[in-house]
Chains A and B, each alone.
Chain A
Amino acid sequence: MGQLINPTTTVLDPAETGFFTTRLESILAWAQKYSLFMYPFVTACCGMEFMAVSGPRYDFARFGSEAPRSSPRQSDLLWVVGTISQRQAPILRRIYEQMAEPRWVLAFGTCASSGGFYDNYTTVAGIDKIIPCDVYIPGCPPRPEAVLDGLMLLQDKIQSGDRRPSVVKPRFDPVTDPTLGLVQLRRPSQA
């Protein structure tokens, strides 16, 4: 544990790329990334883990992401924490539309990333069906370390001006180590 074996980010299909070319813009990006005002859109159990990440042990305030704002007008980063149901979807869309540019979206947990283990009439299978998302943090709920990884990943993307969505992966995924023998593959073709 601790050795960086897999890269922690996976970059999905690029929607658009942007490049900061001037020093002023890079200073601006530095200021933005270290002062993200968040809108915690908390709906479900991931909210408990969100509270844990905000607590003293894993503190996201030390990353500058200190101020929660209940108004989308005043916030930069929309944390979508928990399951979004079809009934909740218009509310989420409305909150996102009210946010002013520049704005980022962070999908906290698998329900927000992909619908989670729910496959039914009532769950939206991932918030990116409704709003564009920048960072996905899978986990049910994700470890606080993973959440902080996601936050740092977002900060790197803000600094570099990268708008492509990306995913937080575990630093060392035991499944990928065949010598541990943790996972039995059903079909050899999956090896």
Chain B
Amino acid sequence: MAQKLIELVRNEFSDSVLDSYSQHGDETVVIEPESWLALGKFLRDDPGCDMALLVDLTAVDYPQKTPRFEVVAHLASLRLGHRLRAKAAVGATDGTGAQIDSWSGLWGSANWAERECFDMFGVDFRGHPDLRRILLYPEFVGHPLRKDYPADRIQPLVAFRDAENIEKLPPFGPSEGMSFGRKTHDQWLTNRDAADDDL
């Protein structure tokens, strides 16, 4: 059923489709980012595709690959009952140059989905009417879902109180409870010895 859909896309974009496969029943098509807008128009307007619903649009960061970010869009057709995952890879290894066309003129839901993608990954959507942060605050520096953003860096808006033992985590007293936090957990993973495995 969706195999037909992949054939339709491949026939229309024979020179831009890089890959297509079906993974656990999810049909996927990987396309060059230059054809992203044309693909969106085709998927929405062609009566054989009729993908009226853009389910989600996000990105995945593969820091070892070039291009680095893979923009992933999930689409569904309510009338014809098929779904498609469209992917396009953008961005250099240092994170710059991640530009792709915006689908906000085609689907209304793409507006906020692309804002979230920009907020978390820094992918720039050309033609987006209002590309700014949506979940984080404007004072935030960086894009936190990138793999090179340190997981334990916080950027507080309010200075922490000047009180003693502010690092102690309530409601536990100093000698109670598990030492919380990714740092200590990672240290435990690397420093574990035979005694730790003796359950």
Contact = CB atoms under 8 A, between A and B. Distances in A.
A87 interface: yes
Contacts of B158: 89-90, 93, 130
Contacts of A126: 169-170
Contacts of A138: 171
B79 interface: no
A113 interface: yes
Q: How large is the interface on B (under 10, 10 to 19, 20 to 34, 35 or more residues)?
A: 20 to 34
Contacts of A120: 151
A86 interface: yes
Given A119-B182, A121-B144, A186-B199, A129 B171 contact: no
Provide the main secondary structure of the chain A interface.
Answer: loop
B163 A136 contact: no
B189 interface: no
B1 interface: no
A15 B165 CA distance: 11
B47 interface: no
B155 to A, nearest CB: 7
A121 B154 contact: yes
A165 interface: yes
Contacts of A133: 170
Contact of A113 (B170, B182, B196): B170
Interface string B129-172: 00000001100000010000101111111101101111001111
A59 interface: no
A184 interface: yes
Contacts of B181: 119
A126 B177 CA distance: 15
Contact of A187 (B136, B154, B173, B195): B195
A34 B80 CA distance: 63
Interface in A12-41: 12-13, 15
Interface string B47-86: 0000000000000000000000000000000000000000
A119 B199 contact: no
A128 B161 contact: yes
A109 B7 CA distance: 53
Given A87-B137, A121-B151, A167-B171, A131 B182 contact: no
Contacts of B157: 86-87, 89-90
20 contacts: A10-B173, A12-B171, A13-B164, A86-B155, A86-B156, A89-B157, A107-B170, A114-B169, A115-B169, A119-B182, A121-B151, A122-B136, A128-B166, A129-B161, A130-B161, A131-B161, A167-B172, A168-B171, A184-B199, A186-B199
Interface of A: 10, 12-13, 15, 86-87, 89-90, 93, 107, 113-115, 119-122, 124-126, 128-133, 136, 138, 165, 167-168, 184, 186-187
